[in-house]
Structure 1
Amino acid sequence: MPRPQHPPAHDGDVWSVEGRFQHLVYSPRGGVEGLLIDTDGIATQFVVDPHDAASVGQLLGLQAGQALAVEGRKTPPSPKGEGEHVVYHFERLAEVDGEEPAAPQDAQVRGKVVRFNFARHGAPNGVVLDSGDFVHTRPDGLARLGLHIGDAVHAEGAAQPLATGGGRVIEARRINGQPLAAHG
């Protein structure tokens, strides 16, 4: 079945596609893997890295039928065959119901360290507090801070909901008064 095409606007490699939010797309392990929008009757999928908390955080809270402008990069053809619709790599949510989405809110959290979190390559990259919040420090930041289980933490930084709910991910700029290097 040929893929339906539609004329999204584009700037270089980044395309902006407008449509109505249909639903999130889940990975086989239950994480958020993207979203599906309807563009004048044509399904369009945007995929995210499920480990990219900032991108996934932009998708949480969307409601079916909301008007969206989504920016992305076209994906190359899949070795598994042609899909049923156009697929883009998600870059950012540009508009929700005609408005620019709110930037991640700055937050301050306090709590005690109950466990460490680990990056995909196995290095500890932050701490989970008894509040349920995950404070992301990157491995070098955590090593410099020397935190231990049970330590009190006061963290400041941009916050977004965790994909699992019940807490937030904090991109830490300061922990216990100590500045962390900017995440880039």
Structure 2
Amino acid sequence: MDIDTNLLATAERLFDQDGFHATGMGRLVEESGLSSRTVYKHVGSKNALMARVLAARGDRFFAHADFTSTRALFDSVALWARREGARGCLFFRLRAETGGAVPEIEAAVAAYHAQLHARLAALVRQETGAADPTLTDQLLALFEGATTAATYRGPAVIEAAGACAVHLIERGRSS
């Protein structure tokens, strides 16, 4: 495993498990097995590292998520939660923890949410034949709510939200 891959994987695991503030650079250095000089040379700062972690996680998520249909999307998100753990959205958790005060995290969170919204809007157009901002927001709310509820109800709640989303899409087709 190369230095960047090791560093990002270790940082993602620690930030996801313990949060941004509770994960110090000393612990990251220790658990990655790299020197502090090497870590800082590759990332510059904790904020920059967190932004890279979020970008990489977003890339992994969007590579995994199946936007070919509403059912496929929610099924793929349920599978993600089973594989990755149902701890809620890392983007939301870090945004909440930092209160919007870390520009690097804010930019990464905004980029993720813009991409998610755009993909949901495209999915709505594909499945209903028309743009529908309200339906897009309804799918977004189901998606985000299910991801959060999975933290205490388990990934099956994502499948339940998916059934609701499919119903909304079917209603959108007939309108």
Tell me which interval the TM-score lies in, with the shorter structure as reference length.
under 0.3
TM-score by length of 1: 0.25
Question: Which has a greater percent of strand?
Answer: 1
TM-score by length of 2: 0.25
Q: Which has the higher contact order (CA 8 A, sep 6+)?
A: 2
> Who wins on radius of gyration, i.e. which is larger?
1
